[in-house]
Structure 1
Amino acid sequence: MSCPICSKPATKKYRPFCSRRCADVDLARWLNGSYAVPSEDPEDAEEAASALEEIRSRPH
């Protein structure tokens, strides 16, 4: 397995990364939003609330 950051061979201690540095680079990308997971939720809070109410009012 190769490191997803630098492509060097991964080490057991930092798997799937090759080093602490690459693990920290990956963590920083998650924390600053570079790896944001796309959402299909409505952007508008009111729209989200009304969509939730609609789902809750449906018969089960």
Structure 2
Amino acid sequence: MDEEVTGKADFNVGNNKYQTWYKIVGDLASGAHPLVMLHGGSIKKLATFMETQTPK
């Protein structure tokens, strides 16, 4: 089974502080190249995109 880690990362934009959520699936030490996805829109659009990208 794939390892799964979630958390929040802090970042600043100008003088404002923000947090973004992340999820890591798999073993980063495996040597495989990671897939990085950024999401800044609605969760419905993200879910629709993910459904089209999931291998059948």
Q: Under a length normalisation based on structure 1, what TM-score does the superposition of the two structures give?
A: 0.22
TM-score (norm 2): 0.24
Higher strand proportion (structure 1 or 2):
2
When you count helix as a share of all residues, which structure comes out higher?
A: 1
